Structure 1
């Protein structure tokens, strides 16, 4: 895992040096709370992802109007959106986030590889409701004390989604004050996906916080499988961004439960 994580962490440092996160305005965040939206949803809770590229797939979709894509996702029933702000390998941008924030009222997750509090400052200014932290980034010492980062995000009125991939990472994540716990079904070393990652980690679940299963969801059957494994919500990106009918696919996945 270290080589890919190291590359992702260096990309974030480069983006920081480039001034990517120097935001000189402040957007209004959503009035809705993502945790409450998930708890009160009778159907599958989807956080759909606006991303045009990824390290595993390369270019996923030709860069086009992010707001139109976001609106199609919300119209399909997504309870929240994840928007990539990382320019390298993901073709993300704080500008895309701002455009979506000004038009979309559902909670937004700033999706990035956070290695510095400057990025958390940016999340607040962009009007994010949730910021992603990755357990392995801290375990590998690409960023310092995770508790400090979680606490700092909370001072900015941001919820924290803390992502893990292994049993140990998940166990470590439960010791923090993160608001939402994520399980990434993608191995960041090999970039291979297995939905059994969620199954194995949640076999003896006794965690009360919302748990989101991330990566690898392509069909209603995948949603139903992960739901039976104990996942409360589902972060879905590539399959939706590849779809010719974004609203239709989101609706189909939401209706899986």
Structure 2
């Protein structure tokens, strides 16, 4: 069989994920997932946490590495870091659970769940409904759906199934075509400033797409955000929150980095408010 050589990074991840999920389904049935303690836990609303945040709706991410950044903080302690995020003002926590490409350990999300009461997003590449129920069993409050990987019908079906069992849905888009796939079943829409096909990054992507986002949805900007000035600007464009991971995870003290970042955003906003008063 001829090997395809034009696969994007996202294509390769999704192909591996299909094999991985099929293997996990053989090991643990859907019925077994429903019998876990985590599955019966009442979820915390991510959308409400972002809306009610006094610290700019920052979702702080725990990740060890990524295909674009390679090793970020491979020896990081998920319990300590996410507890520090919570104390530092995070509205929510994003936890990578992909082992092959992002270096997650099997118990990372368990340790995060035990460390914080904030809403936790299980961040992975969801291509099968089985993963929705895995997330619920893990104690997650929300899942990620990537529009580049799914059809509009799949987004609608997966989001409805997630909502049915209490999970909220963060749907990630990168362009106008993907924005058209958004479902009324989605709770939060995220504009990814990183193109998942070639991993290039541009904050302007969030500015260009904001007008296409339904006002009823909580709107967040993701990826490549390492400057408080960008957060202040994107807030003025209409964004409710921000998902930031690499910038914090590269610091010696990620929780302190988050606190300092929030303080700097506040200083910038005060200057801006003073200038237009």
TM surpasses 0.5? yes
Give the match for residue 180 of structure 1: 188
Answer yes or no: is the 8 Å Cα contact 1:220–1:252 preserved in 2.
no
Which aligned runs of 4 or more in structure 1 are off by greater than 6 angstroms?
none
1:71 aligns with 2:83: yes
Determine if contact 2:207/2:237 at 8 Å carries over to the other structure: yes
Q: Any unmatched runs of 5+ in structure 2? A: 1-5, 267-277
1:82 aligns with 2:90: no
Give the equivalent residue in structure 2 for 1:233: 241
1:35 equivalenced with 2:35 (yes/no): no
Distance 1:177 1:18 in 2: 29
Aligned length: 253
**Higher alpha-carbon deviation: 80-89 or 195-204:** 195-204
Structure with higher Rg: it is 2
Structure with bigger helix share is 2
* Matching residue within 221, 228, 242 for 1:220: 228
Structure 2 residue 176 is matched with structure 1 residue 167: yes
Pick which of 98-107 and 233-242 moved more. Answer: 98-107
* Distance of 2:43 and 2:177 partners within structure 1: 35
Q: Is the counterpart of residue 25 in structure 1 residue 36 in structure 2? A: yes
SS in 1 for 2:196: coil
TM-score where L is the length of structure 1: 0.90
Task: Tell whether the 8 Å contact from 2:174 to 2:194 is kept in structure 1 after alignment.
Answer: yes
From 150, 155, 158, the equivalent of 2:164 is: 155
- Asked if 1 retains the 8 angstrom alpha-carbon contact of 2:55 and 2:90, the reply is no
Aligned mate of 2:197, from 181, 189, 192: 189
* Match of residue 5 from structure 1: 10
Change beyond 3 A, Cα 1:205–1:120: closer
Distance 1:145 1:158, change over 3 A: same
Indicate the SS of the match to 1:82: strand
Distance 2:256 2:42 in 1: 24
The answer as to whether partners of 1:80 and 1:108 remain within 8 angstroms in 2 is yes
Instruction: Describe the superposition over 1:173-208 as per-residue Cα deviations: whole angstroms up to 9, x where unpaired.
Output: 1x4420111110001122111000000001465522
TM-score in terms of structure 2 length: 0.84
Quick one: distance in 1 between partners of 2:76 and 2:245? 16
Q: CA RMSD in A?
A: 2.2
Structure 1 residue ranges without an equivalent (≥5): none
Could you tell me whether the CA contact under 8 Å between 2:50 and 2:92 is conserved in 1? no
Q: What does residue 272 of structure 2 align with? A: none
